[in-house]
Chain A
């Protein structure tokens, strides 16, 4: 059900911007999703088709741009990533203090309209 709430939000935002730009149809949505942000996968397209029937978004396609998580170690300043999806201490110096540089993104970047 998490996906349903999220797809409803995506539709609201897209339709708002579509109407503002006098669109007759929204054909594509470009979403940016960080590796650390909410759980969402390609199955969302299924919900999408259901909830966008009879709206500006009917028949539109969702495109996902995935942003990998990047951390910077606060002790040795080196950057590192998730290891098999799991957060680890710094692989260079074993410190557990880090900043998240990217990976928490979750927004609608742009839409294609007719």
Chain B
């Protein structure tokens, strides 16, 4: 005989549980962490390189790079002075908490004060998989177009800061900043926003100031 059994369990509960454990682990060794999300080519790795350039003299930084394949991004982070771990997701379109947990195991976590996690380039899936990082950062870039908040609302809704990269290209592309910002305002009213260019360096300082203000216990002697 068929019997109906009540379940009422969130589909992401296992991932959320692991994410909470990651957060505890990071907090226990005073590592501040951010999860950087964006579409492919928006400038995640470039932002990490810029950030490392500014902060490696002052902080001990680890980078975990998520990609479907290759270690190109982790190699770039290592060249820029960070301790880098590559996650190859084997086709998955996002990093989940379990993959991050395994990557963190490869680091001597207590030696660091800042962990930068570069998610897989994708504007849909990473929004659903919490990682336990302290802040979730989204990079939008000018050439992607001004309609992205409208098309990918889940991604814009749950982030803590928005970087608008490649502002040096504004004179060359049709990007209506007012329309873009109206969409962001609808989804995430008080979102802190950093318009910048990783290429020219314009606007980078405001981002760095915000980020360093969040690092609790610098570990560099």
Q: Which residues of A contact B (CB under 8 A)?
A: 1-2, 4-6, 9-10, 12-14, 17-18, 21, 23, 27, 31, 36-39, 86-89, 96-98, 106-114
- Once bound together, how far apart are the Cα atoms of A23 and B5, in whole Å? 10
Q: Can you name 25 A-B pairs with beta carbons within 8 Å?
A: A1-B125, A2-B93, A6-B128, A9-B11, A12-B14, A13-B13, A23-B5, A27-B2, A38-B127, A38-B128, A38-B154, A86-B150, A87-B186, A87-B187, A89-B186, A96-B182, A96-B185, A109-B8, A110-B4, A110-B8, A111-B5, A112-B4, A112-B5, A113-B4, A114-B3
Known: A1-B91, A36-B154. A13 touches B186 (CB 8 A): no
Q: B9 and A13: CB pair below 8 A? A: yes
Residue pair B8, A2 in contact (C-beta under 8 Å): no
A13–B7 alpha-carbon span in the complex (Å): 8
Whether the pair A87, B10 counts as a contact (CB closer than 8 A) is no
Number of A-B residue pairs at CB separation under 8 A: 95
Asked whether any CB of chain A lies closer than 8 Å to the CB of B44, the reply is no
Set A2, A88, A112: member contacting B125, Cβ < 8 A:
A2
Partner of A107, one of B1, B10, B150: B10
Which applies to chain B's interface (DSSP): helix, strand, loop or mixed? mixed
How far, in whole Å, are A4 and B125 apart by their CA atoms in the complex? 11
Contacts of A12 in B (CB 8 A): 14
User: How many angstroms between the C-alpha atoms of A51 and B129 in the bound complex?
Assistant: 20
Q: What are the nearest 8 A-B pairs in CB distance?
A: A2-B125, A38-B128, A108-B7, A107-B10, A96-B186, A1-B93, A110-B6, A17-B7
Nearest CB in chain A: distance from B194 CB, A: 21
Residues of B whose CB lies within 8 Å of any CB of A are 1-15, 91-94, 96, 124-125, 127-129, 150, 153-154, 157, 182, 185-187, 189
B164 CB to nearest A CB, Å: 19
Choice from A6, A21, A108 contacting B9 with Cβ under 8 Å: A108
Using Cβ atoms and an 8 Å threshold, which residues of chain A touch B92?
1, 4-5
Instruction: For B7, give its contact among A1, A87, A88, A110 (CB under 8 Å).
Output: A110
**B189 CB contacts on chain A under 8 angstroms:** 96-97
Besides A2-B128, A110-B6, 8 other A-B contacts (C-beta < 8 A): A1-B125, A2-B94, A5-B94, A9-B11, A17-B9, A36-B154, A39-B124, A110-B7
Q: Roughly how many angstroms separate A50 CA and B189 CA in the complex, as a whole number?
A: 42
Chain B: CB-nearest residue to A105: B10
Question: In the complex, A98 Cα to B153 Cα: how many Å?
Answer: 14
Which residues of the other chain, A, contact B94 by a CB distance below 8 angstroms? 2, 5
A114's nearest neighbour on chain B, judged by CB, is B2
| In contact, B4 and A10 (Cβ under 8 angstroms) | no
Residues of A within 8 A of B127 (CB): 38
The distance in angstroms between the C-alpha atoms of A39 and B186, with both chains bound, is: 20
With a cutoff of 8 Å between Cβ atoms, the chain B residues found around residue A89 in the complex are 186
Closest to A97 in B: B189
Contact B11 A108 (CB under 8 A): yes
Least CB distance, A62 to chain B, in whole angstroms:
12
Q: Of all chain B residues, which has the CB nearest A4? A: B92
